[in-house]
Structure 1
Amino acid sequence: MDDTLSPDYLVIGAGAMGMAFVDTLLSDTKATIAIVDRYARPGGHWTIAYPYVRLHQPSAFYGVNSRPLGEDRIDQVGWNKGLSELATRDEVCSYFSIVMEQTFLPSGRVEYYPKHEYVGEGQFRSVLTNQIFRVGEKTRIVDATWMRVKVPAMGPPAYEVADDVTLIPPNDLPKITRPWGGYTVIGAGKTGIDACLWLLAHGVDPQLISWIVPRDSWLLERGGIQPGLAFAQKTAASVGAIAQATMEASSPEDWFLRMEAAEQVVRLTDSVWPTMFRCATVSLAELEQIKKIKNIIRQGRVVRIGTNEVMMEQDSYIPVPDTLYTDCSADALAKLEPVPVFRGRNITLQSVRYCQQVFSAAFIAHAEATYDDDSKKNELCRVIPHPDEAMDFLIVSLQSHRNGLRWAAHPKTAAWLSQARLDWFGKFAPTPPEDPAQAVEFQKVMRQRVEGLCAKLEQLISQVPGKDAARAKAQLARF
């Protein structure tokens, strides 16, 4: 017989977005919540990620609103030296366990069901016992798994591999027990960068490393946006540089060049124009290291890896004998068409600010806790798809600014943002005057500046050619 539960919310997934949503809901409401998750501990994909993974953004920008992540420390060693700390996999997993055990469960309003799978229609089952649970019709169902975060350990690669070829996920790099004739990293995203850096950090000669890069990417320079007073001046300069690059750019290409000149974005080489942007972030020291890898193979995606030939979409090549391949090709965030966040009893967590999924989840919880009308909530929570193509950077920048203008027009939301730990963007905004009349004028001027940026971004996007133009038009139609 099924067990029936009656929480106010059923949250599917105890990953970063699910945890951030629940944390804000606990703080801002008296709701009861059931969390169902297929893993044995909170943290989502972090619990099965490769052991040397770290956040690409400062720890201060991650986690849940109610509890800081990390020690507000500046790294003293390594390729992130001089910048705000980046939490490791183990630190992130420990953090989410602490949030669950010291905040969520002691509240008496959260029930946690690890090793359970949601099967649809308000039902979930135990992976270990097959016991079925269901929630009542008044329970709102929150999907914190919709963005389909995927890491290589979750499944096989999307290409053929001969039986006598050694291909490992990045999780297995630390398990290597002998030297190999060559090391090939497959994939140009965050995971591929991490694998290359791991090999270099462990003394592998860059000449022995081959890197299959289907698409070059624009990378964010981590040092430009940093938390805390120690970086306030530099961060303010970065924010100003981005605005200046936008207002002075004559074309999308010119915008990227100006952003690059201001060291807000970087790339592997000046000789290749990047066609991808997926929010990956590097320090200048990390960039210097990965540039040491000279054998970069740009022939599209891998089709098949054989003993004596690697077939690519555009060509093939003969690999070094005794090559160890590391698969970093998993698409971390699926390319999905956005859906309304609020639909009947369903809430689907998605990004409402580009590259900031955990903030977005917390913001959606704020909207749910603060406003009664789902149409108003959806107006405030217009979805920003995760960027993929280079020109998406312009599009998601415009969408984020437009969402920010909507939020600023609602006093309750503006007040929430001013107190939200995860709203790192707001921390860099100029402080309004204390005098009420001056504050009103200040806000008017700031709004005009953002509207000016939006107008210029629209102008630049209108120059985007071909298929990018069609995608931009479709994406902006929702805004």
Structure 2
Amino acid sequence: MADMETDYLIVGAGAVGLAFADTLVAEDPDCTVTIVDRHAKPGGHWNDAYGFVALHQPSANYGVNSLAFPNEHIDTHGPNKGLFALASGSEVLAYFETVMSARLLPTGRVTYLPSHDFGGMDEDRRATVRPLFSGEEKTIKVRRKLVDATFYQTSVPSTHKRQFEVADGVDIAPPGGLLELWKRAEQPEHFVILGAGKTAMDTGVWLIENGVAPENISWVRPRESWLWNRKYTQPGADNLETSMSMQIAILEAAGQAQDGAELMRILGEQGYYLRIDESVEPEMFHFATISQGEVDILRKIENVIRMGRVTAIAPGKLVFAAGEAEVPRASLFIDCTASAVPLDVRRSKRPIFDGDTITLQPLHVPVVTFSAALAAFLETAFETDEEKNRFAMPGPLTDSPATFPYAQLVTMMNRGAWAQSPEIGKYLSQSRLDFGGPTLARLIAEGSPKLAVLGKFQQAIARHMPDLIRLGMQAKALHEQS
């Protein structure tokens, strides 16, 4: 006999699991939900992130549907000047604690089990969970479905396993360790950033903004990356034409490009995508968003080491497969090599709705909280897995410019299917997580002239969707081979 019963068991109390739960309890007033997570507080990987982490995009379309972020405003100074401010990591954690304590638990239909391990589910639909600190195993009878909100296996520097050797005497820390440097009697003479992703970029900006001279920073960048220009991801009616111009540009560039790399190159020349070093062709695209101001700061770091991935570190020395590079012996190495989503997970996919299991994956790449909330709506609005999956093609978190058109194609195909459903259309018009839904609904009701940009978008769809399909299928084959 089970210790507990629930309709839905959600594994993971991070952004994805909470976004799903929030919409589920709103759309199905009779269901019960149990959420289990290893962390002691809601928020998933945000609990482990470095202290100066912030959202890469405006918070207007992040989190859960039922609760907006507080204090949304335009930055008046700094590298993000003129754009919507980015919520800090502490603000995000506070937000998710409020979601749990003020939105979900007060329904009386949500049970939260923090600091618990999920041990799987047997043939009788009994799930096993184990408290991390007591070891007293519990069983939960799942009446409807298991919801896997951990598919992304999100990794952060403080929790990932290093893929290189570190010799004795090496001064090394994750990015979060930078906030502890004030406790040292002597500060490092030199800093070496390891990694080419957004965490490494955040670290470079933090160091320079906190007074480290760019010449005292070395940066190991195995690959250059294309980055979304945050200017074109701003929400609201006043930014509609600007944001839609990027979608139109992607379609028009598809008509000119022979492959994903050329597509990204064209968009980069138009300013929709940015790169730090314009003399190097980017080989990576992980959907990171950045401002031109941040790029300008990062370009001040000229000691860039391009020898691939580090295999070992010794005092004053970096070892690579193809050779070695020297750095000052009194260097602090900052490990930013964690991949937010492992490559094998980026390649894998499974049906979102599959019998008694829901596996949350991107439906609009890479907007994961919106995708999770929409999956919850589909679960409540349609009867069969076939109906639900018709609107829920899993989108890939692709790795490179060459494979990016595959993600863009899946997103546009999903949105095209949603546009044919009155039920989904009504939901999107009220969903704060949908980038354009409520804004467009309001402008349509007002008969606003700002809607003229939608006509241009429809023309671009009609003319260039075959081109995007061509590039997308080419990219799909590359993505599945990588």
TM value normalised by structure 1: 0.91
Where does residue 388 of structure 2 map in the other structure?
377
* Aligned-partner SS, 2:158: helix
- Counterpart for residue 210 of structure 2: 202
Q: Is the 8 A contact 2:261 2:401 kept in 1?
A: no
Contact 1:38 1:114 in 2 (8 A): yes
Letter in 1 for 2:138: F
| Equivalence for 2:124 | none
Report the Cα distance in structure 2 between the residues aligned to 1:373 and 1:432, rounded to whole angstroms: 34
Give the deviation of 1:154 after TM superposition: 0.7
Q: 2:371, 2:416 → 1: CA distance?
A: 15
Over 3 Å counting, the alpha-carbon distance change for 1:102 and 1:469 in structure 2 is: closer
Alignment CA distance shift 1:430-1:111 (3 Å):
closer
3-state secondary structure, aligned to 1:207 = helix
Cα distance in 2 for residues equivalent to 1:23 and 1:447: 33
- Judge conservation of contact 2:407–2:472 (CA < 8 Å) in 1: no
Query: What code does the residue aligned with 1:242 have?
Result: I
Contact 2:10 2:17 in 1 (8 A): yes
Question: What SS is found at the alignment partner of 1:338?
Answer: coil
Identity, in percent, stands at 35
Q: Which position in structure 2 is the counterpart of 1:45?
A: 45
Distance 1:430 1:248, change over 3 A: farther
Cα 1:315/1:382, change in 2 over 3 Å: same
Cα distance in structure 2, aligned partners of 1:3 and 1:42: 25
Offset from partner CA, 1:360-390 (integer Å, 9 cap, x none): 1111111111111012212211111212112
Are the structure 2 counterparts of residues 5 and 445 from structure 1 closer, same or farther at C-alpha, using a change threshold of 3 Å? farther
Distance 1:53 1:433 in 2: 37
1:438 aligns with none
Counterpart residue identity of residue 19, structure 1? L
Mapped to 1, the partners of 2:75 and 2:432 lie a distance apart of 21
Amino acid at match of 1:256: M
Residues 446 and 371 of structure 1, relative CA distance in 2, 3 Å threshold: farther
After TM superposition, the structure 1 stretch with the greater mean CA deviation from structure 2, 222-231 or 143-152, is: 222-231
Instruction: Determine which of 443, 453, 478 is the counterpart of 1:471.
Output: 478
> Structure 1 residue 135: deviation in Å?
2.0
Contact 2:251 2:465 in 1 (8 A): no
Any residues of structure 2 matched to 1:63-462 within 5 Å, and which?
A: 63-121=63-121, 122-176=127-181, 177=184, 178-249=186-257, 251-335=259-343, 336=345, 337-426=348-437, 449-450=460-461, 452-461=463-472
Give the AA of the match of 2:413.
R
Partner of 1:439: none
Structure 2: which amino acid aligns with 1:407?
Answer: W
After superposition, the C-alpha distances for 1:416-456 in whole angstroms (9 at most, x for unaligned) are: 11111111044676988679xxxxxx999976753544311
Deviates more, 1:193-202 or 1:416-425: 416-425
Deviation at 1:210, TM superposition (A): 0.6
Q: Tell me if structure 2 keeps the 8 A contact 1:401–1:450.
A: no
> Is residue 432–residue 443 contact of structure 1 (8 Å, CA) maintained in 2?
no
Equivalent pair of 1:11/1:33 in contact (CA under 8 Å): yes
Conserved in 2, the CA contact under 8 Å of 1:169 and 1:327? Answer: yes
- Contact 1:52–1:89 (Cα < 8 Å) also in 2: yes
Are the equivalent residues in 2 in contact too, given 1:341–1:348 (CA < 8 A)?
yes
Distance (Å, rounded) in 2 between the aligned partners of 1:474 and 1:157: 26
Structure 1 residue 34, shift from structure 2 partner: 0.5
Moved more, 149-158 or 238-247: 238-247
- The one-letter code matched in structure 2 to 1:470 is A
* Pair 84,188 (structure 1): closer, same or farther in 2 beyond 3 Å: same
Note if contact 1:216-1:276 (Cα within 8 Å) is conserved in structure 2.
yes
Deviation at 1:251, TM superposition (A): 4.8
Tell me whether 383-392 or 79-88 shows the greater mean CA deviation. Answer: 383-392
Structure 1 257/306 Cα, relative in aligned 2: closer, same or farther at 3 Å?
same
**2: CA distance between counterparts of 1:156 and 1:443?**
46
Contact 2:53 2:89 in 1 (8 A): yes
1:276-324 deviation digits (Å, cap 9, x = unpaired) = 1001111000000001101111111110001242111332111212010
Q: CA deviation at 1:225?
A: 1.8
| Deviation string, structure 1 residues 158-215 (Cα, Å, up to 9, x no partner) | 1000011011011101111332221001011111111111101101010111111111
Moved more, 103-112 or 261-270: 261-270
Per-residue CA deviations over 1:87-129 (Å, capped at 9, x if unaligned) read: 0000000000011111101111101111111011111111122
Separation in structure 1 between the aligned mates of residue 456 and residue 48 of structure 2, nearest angstrom = 47
Gaps in structure 2 of 5+ consecutive residues: 122-126, 447-452
Q: Distance in 1 between matches of 2:223 and 2:481?
A: 24
Tell me the secondary structure at the aligned position of residue 424 of structure 1: coil
Structure 1 CA distance for aligned equivalents of residues 141 and 462 of structure 2 = 45
| Structure 1 unmatched runs, 5+ | 436-441
Calculate the aligned-residue CA RMSD, in Å: 2.5
Partner of 1:55: 55
Q: Indicate the SS of the match to 2:286.
A: coil
Q: Is the 8 A contact 1:220 1:265 kept in 2?
A: yes
More off after superposition, 110-119 vs 450-459: 450-459
Q: Give the whole-Å Cα distance in 1 for the aligned partners of 2:290 and 2:19.
A: 25
Q: In the alignment, residue 41 of structure 1 is paired with which amino acid?
A: K
Is 2:267–2:273's contact at 8 Å kept on the other side of the alignment? yes
